[in-house]
Structure 1
Amino acid sequence: MQSSASLLQRQKQSMIASPQLIESIRLLQLAHTELHQYVGQEIAKNPLLELAPSEEGPSGDDWSIPGEDPDIGVREKDFDKPTSGEAPERFMQSKSTGNTANAPPGAGNAVDNFSVSAETLHDHVARQIALTAFTSPERLIAGQLAAHLEDTGYLNVSLVELASSLNVRADDVERVLGILQHFDPPGLFAQTLSECLEIQLRQRDRFDPAMAALVGNLEMLARRDFQALKQHCGVDEEDLLDMLHEIRALDPKPGNQFHTGRPECVMPDVWVMPSPGGGWQIELDPNTLPKLLINHTYFAEVSRAAVQNSKDQAFLNECLQNANWLIRSLDQRANTILKVATEIVRQQEAFLEHGVSHLKPLNLRTVADAINVHESTVSRVTSNKYMLTPRGVFELKYFFTVAIASCEGGDAHSAEAVRHRIKAIIAGESLADVLSDDDIAVRLKETGIDVARRTVTKYREAMNIPSSVQRRREKRLWLDGDQGSAA
């Protein structure tokens, strides 16, 4: 068979993602902080875009936004029942979330403006160094040691290298370090956890040979190997119990009690509030939504000046087109987040009313089919987005869990609810009834949850709960200690 060349014409359809479509998709997965940064960059590039005023917007026809809404702000949607506009304020005040959306302008920063900055660890140490009778060389060494102090209170430097860099003897550095280790709070300037605990015990005059053996074998304590600890320390169970109580009372990171920076807080993107007439009200947090306006007056003035220059006119038209696209994309992003959040609340209403034990199994496809979008859209929307509920702040992805089959053929159980049930079963154990993973699996089957023993083991280890052997040993140890204290 001979091959021959020929010309063929075929017609086919394909979808090509435009740059604007790619940007719209990227906007969906941006957190609100990243979104505000992106909008700020667009405002810097586009002279027609400006942020809307925080108070009432300007009147007249100078400002306009494409679409039906006057700005990209809060969209309200009721789930089952209508509610009044005062619900968000009542809810936020009752939950004490610290959100100042309903506060007067400038009220949110009033405390910050007048509050005194907290003392840091390094300030605290520097003040003690200044009050200590050091010689000039010793004060230099102390200052260098303090400069290498971590926020946790540990010293992160080699004493030999520090002595070499300062051209002093290593014995002098160790002597100054011994003085600094008596500073407040106890445990500062240690290089290891064992040394940190030793410093605190020495200041309490409790560092005897038995305690030294315990501090020197912390890995056994982490493994809960109490039999080996009793042998190494040369004590009985009662004395070991007292020693463990003393260890637990120590601070493994003494520097953490000082201010090391402004704490980070999570700002929810969605509010879920109970409606007075029943049901739930879902709203977007206005603080997470940038509000943009297009200045048509400026566009008209510049267009008249650039009417004779085709390049300038083309640039203005492009800016107007990009501004319209960005505002529509932000509006679509807000609507999509609200739709996804509304469907999550509809699916997880039992969780909002009764707690984590009633969390239903849910996947992306269920929500996507309900609101008629693709699964990838739901995945992007739920990334780095948070929901404020009467039960706390949760990431939207928290509500998506795998299903655990039911023994009775009823509704399946979510993995998170099963983990909560396992934790509750273990919390209710007694010394005479410490359950193995097989026993817990049987208990779960009695309540209608069909789960294998290996699944129980996996969930238990993920929650950092020790095995039944370790739990029984700990309960016996603590029980003997309580009886000895009572006697």
Structure 2
Amino acid sequence: MAISTKLEMRQSQSLVMTPQLMQAIKLLQMSNLDLVAYVEAELERNPLLEKGETDSAPDGGEDTSGQDQGSGDSNGQTDPNDWMQSDLETGSEAIASRMDTDLSNVFPDEPGVPASPDPALLKAGDSYKNATSGAASEDYNLEAFVAEETSLGASLEEQMHLALSDEADKLIAGHLINSLDENGYLFTDLQEAADMLGVDLERVESVLSVVQTFEPAGVFARNLAECLKLQLVDKNRFDPAMEALIENIELLAKRDLQALRKICGVDDEDLMDMVAEIRALDPKPGSVFGASLVQPVVPDVFVRPANDGTWAVELNSDNLPKVLVNQTYYARVIKTARNATEKEYLIDSLQTANWLAKSLDQRARTILKVSSEIVRQQDGFLTYGISHLRPLNLKTVADAISMHESTVSRVTSNKFMATPRGIYELKYFFSSAISATVGGDAHSAESVRHRIKQMIDAEDPKAILSDDTIVKILKDDGVDIARRTVAKYREAMKIGSSVQRRREKNSRV
């Protein structure tokens, strides 16, 4: 057969990842904080987008703002081609009314606008209202005068100036302060520090001994044992028995209390008192300063009991950013476009704005749809607790709501659900299955872990449960599980072995 070239026409279908589709996928997997930041950036970049506070016009009159709304939780969406039907005359009137806005209060230096008083000129007891000879400004914010949080370094530098007078010693102490990690530990080599600063090692060690007395007790330690020692010295509790315990701290981690009693030369009661003192110490003394701000978990979905005995699932509307697409402004400025480039920019901005509004709405609908199916699947958990958590995977939810597994995976990432039993990440409800011994329904791995913890917490100190015993009990209850799986779950929950638990519980008796 001869080889030749020819033209053929074939018809096929394929999914093209357009920028709009990529944007929708990106929004779907964002957390609420990331979503708010993204929308804020789009509001600054796109002149046709405005931030919306409510879904409807204010009471007492018709909405004359000339804006079509597209929000993350509204049903109506603007069509990217709606601008073609815009009334240009109405748009001109709306823009004209916006241009008539009084700008006299924009600049504080304009005549007739009282300037903010200089804080240095305020006498003790004078209020802002009295200083301005009128009502207090609505923009006056007391939070602007709240002192900022003190960092670990700032606190130590303040103590350094009080404890040290020699400038060279202060330079050494400053270097040591800058070498601390966020927990207050010093991991720099003293000899290297001495060479860098051009001083003797003895002088660096002398300064170190001074700064190790700073608050909080335990800072500038080079390991955990030294950190605990510094705190015990500060409490005047570092006696020979405690020193022996600190030097053999690894035995305490292994719960080998019998060996510790011999090393420290104390009886059981004294040893337990010493262990209690050690546990009361702070292994990370520097973490109380300058810690990163802990953001509270804001749920994306609320689940509440309904009157008919089912569960009501609703989105957290306060968590959904709302945007407005200003069609009227577009209709006004498109008439003034001077060339094709400006016109193309305006059309692209409008399409982007409409796509963002549509993507926010689709994201909200998808989250609600996936959450509702999770609630339906895990009704037993919501009603009776974790022991009734069912095994669940992404495919089960995806098939039930006719979506792809990847979509469900993106929805459940960084999203939280508030239930009567607490706030859980959506991924928490997806747990692998552990088969039953005789035919019955499979068991959730999370519920099995919970049962293992319950059994260990309730065990008799004189009859500690081994992993083999736990396996036998679970199999008698219909859970087919291997010993290595029990050991894996136990270690994941930070629970010691039967030998370690026996030593610990016997020492408490």
TM-score (norm 2): 0.79
Displacement after TM superposition at 1:49 (Å): 1.8
Supply the distance in 2 between the matched residues of 1:223 and 1:136 (Cα, whole angstroms).
46
Does residue 1:292 correspond to 2:291, yes or no?
no
1:296-325: CA deviation from partner (whole Å, max 9, x where unpaired): 11111122223x744433433333223222
Which residue does the alignment assign to 1:73? 73
Supply the distance in 2 between the matched residues of 1:112 and 1:420 (Cα, whole angstroms).
45
Change (3 A) 1:141 1:320: closer
Change (3 A) 1:450 1:305: same
Change (3 A) 1:110 1:379: farther
Which residue does the alignment assign to 2:181? 150
With 127-136 and 455-464 compared, the bigger mean Cα shift is at 127-136
Which residue does the alignment assign to 1:95? none
Supply the distance in 1 between the matched residues of 2:340 and 2:236 (Cα, whole angstroms).
86
Structure 1 counterpart of 2:24, one-letter code: S
Does residue 1:208 correspond to 2:208, yes or no?
no
Which residue does the alignment assign to 1:90? none
Does residue 1:13 correspond to 2:12, yes or no?
yes
Does residue 1:126 correspond to 2:130, yes or no?
no
Which residue does the alignment assign to 1:85? none
With 130-139 and 290-299 compared, the bigger mean Cα shift is at 130-139
Task: Specify every segment of 5 or more residues in structure 1 that has no aligned partner in the other structure, as ranges.
Answer: 76-106, 480-487
Displacement after TM superposition at 1:230 (Å): 4.0
Aligned length: 441
Larger radius of gyration between Structure 1 and Structure 2: 2
Q: How does 1:451-466 map to 2 (within 5 A)?
A: 451-466=481-496
Displacement after TM superposition at 1:227 (Å): 4.2
With 17-26 and 113-122 compared, the bigger mean Cα shift is at 113-122
Which residue does the alignment assign to 1:167? 198
Change (3 A) 1:331 1:426: same
Q: Tell me, what secondary structure is at the counterpart of 1:144?
A: helix
Q: How does 1:56-455 map to 2 (within 5 A)?
A: 57=57, 59-60=63-64, 62-65=66-69, 71-73=71-73, 116-132=147-163, 134-235=165-266, 237-275=268-306, 278-306=309-337, 309-455=339-485
Displacement after TM superposition at 1:374 (Å): 1.2
Supply the distance in 2 between the matched residues of 1:129 and 1:149 (Cα, whole angstroms).
14
With 3-12 and 45-54 compared, the bigger mean Cα shift is at 3-12
Supply the distance in 1 between the matched residues of 2:144 and 2:367 (Cα, whole angstroms).
34
Supply the distance in 1 between the matched residues of 2:321 and 2:236 (Cα, whole angstroms).
60
CA contact (8 A) 1:121 1:260 kept: no
Structure 2 counterpart of 1:363, one-letter code: N
Change (3 A) 1:421 1:303: same
1:86-140: CA deviation from partner (whole Å, max 9, x where unpaired): xxxxxxxxxxxxxxxxxxxxx9x98956755444333433333333363343334
Displacement after TM superposition at 1:277 (Å): 5.4
Structure 1 counterpart of 2:316, one-letter code: D
Which residue does the alignment assign to 1:4? 3
Displacement after TM superposition at 1:235 (Å): 4.6
Change (3 A) 1:119 1:56: farther
With 351-360 and 200-209 compared, the bigger mean Cα shift is at 200-209
CA contact (8 A) 2:211 2:220 kept: yes
Q: Tell me, what secondary structure is at the counterpart of 1:379?
A: helix
Structure 2 counterpart of 1:255, one-letter code: G
Displacement after TM superposition at 1:446 (Å): 2.6
Which residue does the alignment assign to 1:33? 33
Task: Specify every segment of 5 or more residues in structure 2 that has no aligned partner in the other structure, as ranges.
Answer: 76-137
Supply the distance in 2 between the matched residues of 1:131 and 1:4 (Cα, whole angstroms).
92
Q: Tell me, what secondary structure is at the counterpart of 1:242?
A: helix
With 397-406 and 114-123 compared, the bigger mean Cα shift is at 114-123
Change (3 A) 1:113 1:366: farther
Change (3 A) 1:221 1:16: same
Which residue does the alignment assign to 2:96? none
Q: Tell me, what secondary structure is at the counterpart of 2:15?
A: coil
Displacement after TM superposition at 1:459 (Å): 0.8
Which residue does the alignment assign to 2:128? none
Which residue does the alignment assign to 1:82? none
Q: Tell me, what secondary structure is at the counterpart of 1:267?
A: coil
